[in-house]
């Protein structure tokens, strides 16, 4: 069992976002630059280091859905914006839902939101998912499924299977998505799901497809 998962189980919680990003990195999945902080001064220093604009999110063992809880601040363009966001996000994690700090990323502009993940099924084992993400995952349920471990060819078939596949092909002069990078994430995620049997659920949502690579904007790893 990976030490990060072992630690989370000892503390009877799921992985915190910085831990989940660290786990993805150890399985060779490219994640955005990020900095975990616990104070306003650390947040300002992280924003200067990452470069404006930045995104800041609360990290909390008690909050799985940060956007719905008001725990995300996007496109912070200067230090005043970081200070205001820090104050607001700190209030989200008050009381019994006291947070475990904050995390900052570079802000990534995007047009398409995808979702990748895994749900462990009692009969089939790790079932991998790919589809449109963000609000579209609930509105359209446009998802493809595969059984771990995935080959690159099986991952590519999942990309081809969703109804919104044309969004990956570069409509109206836009650059097409880097399909190889998306498949690579799915393949490596499926290997992680097979090896780390204590994981019940993985949710990468949203993932922004780019012309080179992809940007994993949020990750949730649920331990059983």
Of the CA atoms within 13 Å of residue 32, those in its CB half-sphere come to 25
DSSP tag of 211? S
The closest alpha carbon to 21, from 10, 9, 33, belongs to 33
For the chain, the distance separating the N- and C-terminal CA atoms, rounded to the nearest angstrom, is: 13
- The torsion region of residue 183 among left (phi > 0), alpha (psi -120 to 50) and beta comes to alpha
pLDDT digits (tens, 9 = 90+) for 157-179: 999 999 999 999 977 778 899 99
Give the Cα separation of 84 and 87 in Å (integer).
Answer: 5
pLDDT tens track for 88-133: 999 886 544 567 999 999 999 998 999 999 999 999 999 999 999 9
CA 35 to chain centre: 15
Q: What is the pLDDT of residues 9-56, one digit of tens each?
A: 999 999 999 999 999 999 999 999 999 999 999 999 999 999 999 999
DSSP 167: G
**Which positions ≥6 away from 22 have C-beta within 8 Å?**
4
Spatial contact of 215 and 110, defined as CB atoms under 8 Å apart? yes
């Amino acid at each position: 069992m990976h030490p990060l998962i072992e630690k989370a189980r000892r503390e009877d919680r799921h992985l915190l976002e910085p831990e989940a990003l660290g786990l993805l990195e150890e399985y060779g999945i490219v994640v955005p630059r990020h900095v975990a902080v616990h104070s306003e001064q650390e947040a300002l220093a992280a924003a200067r280091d990452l470069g404006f604009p930045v995104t800041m999110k609360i990290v909390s063992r008690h909050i799985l859905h940060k956007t719905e809880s008001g725990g995300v601040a996007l496109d912070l363009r200067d230090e005043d914006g970081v200070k205001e966001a820090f104050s607001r996000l700190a209030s989200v994690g008050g009381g019994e839902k006291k947070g475990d700090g904050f995390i900052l990323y570079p802000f990534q502009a995007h047009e398409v939101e995808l979702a990748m993940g895994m749900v462990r099924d009692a009969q089939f084992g790790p079932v991998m998912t790919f589809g449109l993400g963000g609000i579209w995952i609930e509105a359209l349920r446009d998802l493809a499924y595969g059984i771990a471990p995935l080959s690159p060819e099986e991952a590519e078939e999942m990309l081809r299977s969703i109804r919104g596949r044309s969004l990956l092909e570069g409509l109206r002069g836009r650059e097409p998505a880097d399909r190889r990078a998306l498949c690579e994430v799915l393949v490596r995620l499926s290997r992680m799901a097979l090896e780390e049997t204590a994981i019940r659920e993985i949710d990468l949502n949203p993932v922004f497809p780019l012309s080179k690579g992809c940007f994993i904007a949020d990750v949730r790893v649920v331990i059983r």
